Each structure stands twice: as C-alpha cells, then as structure tokens.
Structure 1
C-alpha cells in the first residue's frame, strides 16, 4: 500500500506560524523506518504493508504532537494487494504514458 500523509501541529505559540521543526521530526521517523518513502512540499508518501505503514504514521503523528496542543492529519491511501514497488512503478507508468502522448501514439 501507498499512504500519502501530511501532519502538522496547531497551537504552537509561534508568532511566525512555522511548523518546519515538527514536520522534520515526523519525516525523521519516516526515514528511519526503512520503508520506501518520498517527501515533497505537501505530503510524505510511504510504502509498505498495512501494519508497518500505519505504525510509522502513528509515531510521526505523536512526534508532531510534542510541538503543539493539537495535531492535524490528512491521509490518502492506495491499497492494492499483491503490488510492491509502486512508489516508483506508478511514476514509471505515468512517464511512459506521457511519452506516448508526446509521440502522438
């Protein structure tokens, strides 16, 4: 499964509203998990089985909770039993499709 999630604290007491320290704590947990992952400006996507992915999301959310009085979690999952390596494979299929469009196929 692939899970894309965004987690952020509120009630941080910071005047600038920045949450980068909290997000860094969450991303560190994801990266240390050893699961395939990718972080962009909006979401972190992680790949693995149900139990291991949601354990990482839970721990990342708990880490963010240390930075504020509330935590917001947004999550989207692509559950496709029997498929692995989809973090890269989905992008590869997209690029192949784009090449087909560019060549007029």
Structure 2
C-alpha cells in the first residue's frame, strides 16, 4: 500500500516547517520507502507498519502543537511493491512515447 499524508500543526503561526520536519524525520527513520514533496509525504509498506509510522509522525507534530490537521490518501493494493517509483515510471514512459505532449 502507498499512503500519501500531510500533517499540519494548528495554532503555532504561519511557519510550520520545523514541526513538519519532525514528522518527516519519523517517516525517514522508519526505513520504509518514502518520498516528500511540497504537499505530501508518501510512504509504502504493509497496512500495519505504514499506519504505525503515520501515527508516530502525527504524534511528533502533536508534541509541538496541541492541535493538528491531517490529510491522508491511500492506495491499497495487494502484491504491489516499489509502487512509489513504478507508478511514476509508467507515466513517464507514456509521456516519452508522445513527444507532442506539453510537459508540466
């Protein structure tokens, strides 16, 4: 499964980067495949291990703020591994096959 999630501390002001970094540290320390971009952190693994990491990441932010907002999206599919890179590679393969398509 792949989970993309975002956790945002509330009530600590506009600059939330330091608190969000605590969540990303938890994800990276998990050893599970992961990727962080400007909006979400994605993590790949089995249900129990992924959800435990998400909980720990949220708890890390809660330690800095009594209130947090979390958005989570999951792709639950048995037997898929390396989905974080394979899905992107598939899209890139289609883009390369049609050079007339504008790039993002």
Q: TM-score, normalised by structure 2?
A: 0.92
When structure 1 is superposed on structure 2, of 65-74 and 46-55 the one drifting more is 65-74
Unaligned runs of 5+ in 1: none
Shift in Å at residue 96 of structure 1? Answer: 0.5
Partner of 2:9: 9
CA distance in 1: counterparts of 2:94 and 2:15, whole angstroms: 38
Query: Number of paired residues?
Result: 101
The question of 1:20 aligning with 2:17 is answered yes
**CA RMSD, 1 decimal:** 1.3
Unaligned runs of 5+ in 2: none
Structure 1 runs, 4 residues or longer, greater than 2 Å off: none
The question of 1:33 aligning with 2:33 is answered no
CA distance in 2: counterparts of 1:11 and 1:95, whole angstroms: 40
Shift in Å at residue 93 of structure 1? Answer: 0.4
